[in-house]
Amino acid sequence: MKKLSIFIYSLSLGGAEKTLSLLLPYFVKEFEVYLVLMNKTIHFDIPKNVNLYFLENSNPFESGIKKIIKIPYLSYKYSKFCQKNNIDISFSLMVRPNYINALSKKFGNKSKIILSEHSFPSYQYKSNDLQSKINKILIKFFYKYADKIVAVSKAVKNDLEKNFYLKNVEIIYNPIDKNDILEKSKEKVNDFVFDSYTYITVGRLDEGKNHEFMIKEFSKLEDNSKLIIIGEGILKPYLKNVIKKLNLEHKVFLLGNKKNPYKYMAKSNCFVFTSKFESFGIVLVEAMALNIPIVSTYFGEVTGEILNKETIADDLAKRLVEIKNKKEYNYNLDKFLLPKIYEKYKKIFL
């Protein structure tokens, strides 16, 4: 049985972390798995036969420059860990673990180095500040040491190849566990009444998700429909004020984070998505698994990889009205299903 080291910053509530939580039970069946973290935040279950190791106990609020300065030392430390445990495959997710994993090769790590890129680097580091400039340089310099780079969409692959001149990039989409989603969707909802047409969205309350735009477009609807927003974030007080100013307290509801958002999604009539930019957009695929009508604005090059044209709205308010009359939804989920995604990872690991 080959030894697989999986290196990620933490298991907090994020897209890459959720992807890993779905894949871990599959990995442990065919690999001796070592899970390497940099922070003790763990929000997902870890299979009992996974070996857990902390490379450090990182402070999430330490400066960006300090994080960069520590990369050579942590790469050396990680290389020694891989050598000591005879790791065959070293797989990392997220930018800083990717830097450390790739650079560990220069410190003697003989493992097969595989990086997983879940962001769109050109967009993430579009700013002209020093930290963004440094990260763009580091991606070009460090990622080239990897044996394989996994991109979560064709858009991310194109970005890595065209703007960072990287090779050996393969597309593997983020997976969904359809059976688990459907099972959880059956649970009862006790804190909200679905007594009229209900729109729903799920995502962090930050500028990128563009909830203010969504709320203002929803305010143009002259009916008794409701809008549920599931998620937490720094813009929650601001969005509460927007809702109050538009006199929508009886129509727009900020429900916070929910351990099981699927039971709310399944009982809603339409899923709404207004992100300014995404490298993938897993929540849309989850909505498809529940066969919910979707209305979305354009969120970058990846939009067409997930959604068909009729789902994408130029005039959001108008589309929110039109969707009420749509009865059939043709979603193709095959390329996102967990067993198929695992087989793709297994192929590049072996």
State mean pLDDT over 195-213.
Answer: 94
Same-domain check for residues 164 and 237:
no
**Percentage above 70 pLDDT, the chain:** 99
Same-domain check for residues 27 and 110:
yes
Same-domain check for residues 116 and 47:
yes
Is residue 287 predicted with pLDDT exceeding 70?
Answer: yes
The DSSP call for residue 337 is B
Number of domains comprising the chain: 2
State mean pLDDT over 9-36.
Answer: 93
Kind plus residue range of the DSSP H or E element containing 201: strand 198-202
Same-domain check for residues 77 and 51:
yes
Query: Which has the minimum average pLDDT: 23-32, 60-69, 117-126, 293-302?
Result: 60-69
Same-domain check for residues 156 and 204:
no
Same-domain check for residues 171 and 198:
no
The DSSP call for residue 174 is P
Same-domain check for residues 197 and 166:
no
Q: What is the pLDDT of residue 25?
A: 96
Tens digits of residue pLDDT in 112-134: 999 999 988 988 888 888 888 99
Q: What is the pLDDT of residue 221?
A: 95
Residue that wins the pLDDT comparison between 46 and 307: 46
Tens digits of residue pLDDT in 310-343: 788 889 999 999 998 876 677 889 999 999 999 9
What distance in Å separates the CA atoms of residue 2 and residue 54, rounded to the nearest whole number?
21
Q: What is the pLDDT of residue 281?
A: 87
Same-domain check for residues 233 and 142:
no
Tens digits of residue pLDDT in 73-90: 999 999 999 999 999 999
Is residue 196 predicted with pLDDT exceeding 90?
Answer: yes
Containing structural domain, residue 294: 178-332
What distance in Å separates the CA atoms of residue 111 and residue 93, rounded to the nearest whole number?
16
- For the domain that residue 273 is a member of, what is the CATH number? 3.40.50.2000
Q: What is the pLDDT of residue 328?
A: 66
Same-domain check for residues 100 and 225:
no
Is residue 103 predicted with pLDDT exceeding 90?
Answer: yes
Same-domain check for residues 11 and 96:
yes
Same-domain check for residues 169 and 28:
yes
Task: Quickly list H helices, 85-150.
Answer: 95-103, 121-124, 130-142
Alpha-carbon separation of residue 34 from 7, 47, 52, 54, 75 (angstroms): 8, 11, 6, 10, 17
Q: What is the pLDDT of residue 329?
A: 74
Same-domain check for residues 195 and 168:
no
